Structure 1
Amino acid sequence: MPAELAAILYLDSSPLEMVLRGTVMYWAIFILLRLAGRRDLGTVGVADLVVVMLVADAAGNALASSDDSTLLSGITVVATIVFWSIIVDRLGYYSPRVRRWLEPGQVLLVKDGEILRAGLRKEYLTEDELLAELRAAGVGDLDEVHRAYIEADGRISVIRRHFVGKPKRPTY
């Protein structure tokens, strides 16, 4: 076996230790995140993504058994990250001022059937991407849209117009 391959495949910890580290970190992170009250992982915001990235890095160091990172230090870092995540979530819930700072506001993209280019520019969204999202929402014609917003979580919400007669045929 070439020396480079041997160096990559070399284990500086026993497999049993690695399994034990993986098991302990998995359950520590699982319990900490359950205590944080995360129920819906389908809509991941920026703060949630930061937490996941930091937890992954801290847990990875503890899992790798590097000289500067012990299992207990990894759990401590993960617990600290989750603690701050809980504090930030609670502050955003109880304080509208903090919530406005933490979450981006909604941006108007369509008003009375007209695409607002300024909103698209602000969100770096192309007209084709917007039209695809509108089609996914069941909109066949821009004239059907009273308002369309990009929400804080990145989804596009559509408020339809109410027509007396039938709307025109699709124009896109």
Structure 2
Amino acid sequence: MDGSTLFAFSVSPWELVLRGTLIYVFLFLVFRFVLRRDAGSIGLSDFLFVVLIGDAAQNGMIGEATSSADSMLLIATLVGWNVLLNYLAYRWPGFERLAMGQRLCLFRSGQLNRRAMRRELITTEELKQTLHREGVRGFDEVDLIYLEASGEVTVIPKQPPSP
């Protein structure tokens, strides 16, 4: 590759924008509805899944593109979609609920919400580990546990009775 083709497009810029858009929307849906837990609690299989998706998506996005201009336009397309979705979520609460999700109650009134845990593939052991990280000994010391839309698990301890 010589210097004259380094910044020239090797494929149609519109094709790159379309490819980037399709892959971004597809991956957004996958991560929104499949991988909800945060990166701090990501397991080895989840991490491997993300790496493999990145590699597979790269092939689908770039196609026959080889120049720096192709890559820069593709990256700009992905950044643009990310900024647009964040703006829409900020501007319209209804869109935020759709795009970013809502928190999910995993524990309330001494009862595990097994249905929600099953849907999110969260085990009782994982919740116990979360309790221990929060400095809570067991479920008997907890009022509520939520899986937030961001993927973080929030533990709300019971309040001691007032005198």
For normalisation by structure 2, the TM-score amounts to 0.60
Aligned length: 116
Between the aligned partners of 1:103 and 1:124, the Cα distance in structure 2 is 19
Structure-2 residue corresponding to 1:119: 116
The answer to whether the 8 A contact 2:148-2:154 is kept is yes
1:67 CA drift (Å): 6.2
Percent of residue pairs bearing the same amino acid type: 26
Change (3 A) 1:68 1:122: closer
Residue in structure 2 matched with residue 137 of structure 1 by the alignment? 134
> Residues of 1 paired with 2:147 and 2:93: CA distance?
20
- Of residues 87, 97, 100 in structure 2, which corresponds to 1:90? 87
Task: Return the offset for 1:113.
Answer: 2.6
Paired letter, 1:152: A
**Which 4+ runs in 1 deviate beyond 4 A?**
none
8 Å contact 2:102–2:148 — kept in the other structure? yes
Match of 1:99 in 2: 96
1:143 and 1:57, CA in 2 relative to 1: closer, same or farther beyond 3 A? Answer: same
Q: Which of the pair has more CA radius of gyration? A: 1
Structure 1: tracts of 5 or more residues without a match: 1-12, 22-42, 166-172
1:78 equivalent to 2:79? Answer no
Q: Distance in 2 between matches of 1:99 and 1:138?
A: 32
Which residue of structure 2 lines up, in the alignment, with residue 148 of structure 1? 145
**Structure 1 residue 68 corresponds to structure 2 residue 69:** no
Q: For 2:141 and 2:64, locate their aligned partners in 1 and report how far apart those are by CA, in whole Å.
A: 62
User: Letter of the aligned partner of 1:164 in structure 2?
Assistant: P
Give 1:57's aligned residue.
58
Task: State the alpha-carbon separation in 2 of the partners of residues 72 and 91 from structure 1.
Answer: 28
Contact kept, 8 Å, 2:105 with 2:113, in 1: the verdict is yes
Taking structure 1 as reference, are residues 73 and 163 closer, same or farther at Cα in structure 2, changes over 3 Å only?
A: same
Of structures 1 and 2, the one scoring higher in RCO (CA 8 A, sep 6+) is 2
- Please give the secondary structure, in 1, of the residue aligned with 2:137: coil
Q: CA deviation digits over 1:71-109, x for unaligned, max 9?
A: 111111111111111111101111111111111211111
- Mapped to 1, the partners of 2:64 and 2:161 lie a distance apart of 72
Note the residue ranges of structure 2 that are not aligned, 5 or more in a row: 8-37, 40-49
Q: If the length of structure 1 is used for normalisation, what is the TM-score?
A: 0.57
